[in-house]
Amino acid sequence: MLHIVFQEADIDVLQKAIALDESGGLNGEVWQIKDDYAVGPVADIYEAEGFQARRDFWKEALEFSPYEEQIEIVNDKMTVHNLQKRLNAEEDSEEYIKDVWIWMGQNQHDVCGYYWLMSQLKAYQGRIFVLYLNNLPFINEKGQLFYPSVLHQIQPKEFLKAKRLSRVITLSEFELDPDEWKKTCQENAMVRILEGGKKIAGKEVDFYDKSLLGAITGDFQKLPKILQTAFSKFKVNTGDVFLVWRLRKLVEQGVLELQGDWTKGWKEISLKLAGVASSEAAPVEEAAE
């Protein structure tokens, strides 16, 4: 079989689980769908124009980031092409795979990736399985029950239990889920969140702004510290690249003031709220009065 995950950290934990599985029931390669389809444009995503619009968005967002080279290595279209090639191979071929297991946690990144992927695999119904670990308790390293939102929060040994949840994606799902994804793509919101089950809701591009601005004061702070503070407050997480892209837009709009040079990397950037006096200046103003 072949396993599909949607986050890089999930690869390692699933490979460790495969190594622990003495029955061999999990044995197989682990592939990743790398794009984060929960943010950015998705209109006409399977067409050349829509694909290019999305690539242009990521090219802009990744500029000056530590991940800038990823624009050249993220090629999910090729991954699907290779996946279909393996599914179409003759049974006696080394390339042949019988089943594909799609793993996803309860988060919009995985669910949007699932929709994008499975919409292209209807021809293989009966061989495509899903393991959606939503609203399920697992045991953490301290022996306590918890409800993970992403796969890599789960201990490798716990995946040996989770494999029992594998089920084939039904013909009905192959009819309905692509329609749901098509509506999402037509809406083309810049942010998508998970509202429960597999329900994706579109949000405005400024969805994360309130939490971001809540992490910024009238004093200049380094960008990594701002991100760390913001992530600690988020109820719905997203990637740091999208957040920094959003901060750059807020600088352009005059909402934030910038110190530093983007070309020198994120660590050299400091931000503060525009038009807000720093805390250091406050005592001086009081004394003047």
Is pLDDT above 80 for 57?
yes
**Residue 280: band (very low, low, confident or very high) from pLDDT cuts 50, 70, 90:** low
User: If we measure between CA atoms, which residue out of 67, 3, 81 comes closest to residue 36?
Assistant: 67
In contact, 132 and 162? CB cutoff 8 Å: no
State the Cα–Cα distance between residues 277 and 48, nearest whole angstrom: 48
Domain boundaries of the chain, sorted by first residue: 2-185, 209-288
**Structure confidence at residue 283 (pLDDT):** 40
Could you list the beta-strand ranges (E) of the chain: 2-5, 29-32, 100-105, 128-133, 138-139, 145-146, 167-168, 191-196, 199-203, 221-222, 256-259, 270-273
CB 115 within 8 A of CB 184: yes
Token readout for 287 is: 């004394």
Q: What is the model's pLDDT at position 288?
A: 34
**Mean residue pLDDT across the chain:** 93
Between 281 and 273, residue with greater pLDDT = 273
Which CATH number does the domain 2-185 belong to among 3.40.1360.10, 3.90.950.10, 2.60.40.1180, 3.40.50.300?
3.40.1360.10
Question: Which CATH architecture best describes the domain 209-288?
Answer: Orthogonal Bundle (1.10)
pLDDT at 276: 85
CA angle at 54 for the pair 172 and 117, rounded to the nearest 5°: 25
Over 50: is that where the pLDDT of 121 sits?
yes
Q: How many CB atoms lie within 10 A of CB 179?
A: 10
Which residue intervals of 119-238 are DSSP H helices?
159-162, 171-187, 209-214, 223-233
Six-digit token string for 34:
């790398």
pTM: 0.92
Nearest to 190 by CA among 7, 31, 54: 54
**DSSP state for residue 169 in the 8-state scheme:** P
Q: Which residues pair with 256 in a beta bridge?
A: 273
Helix (H) or strand (E) holding 76: helix 76-88
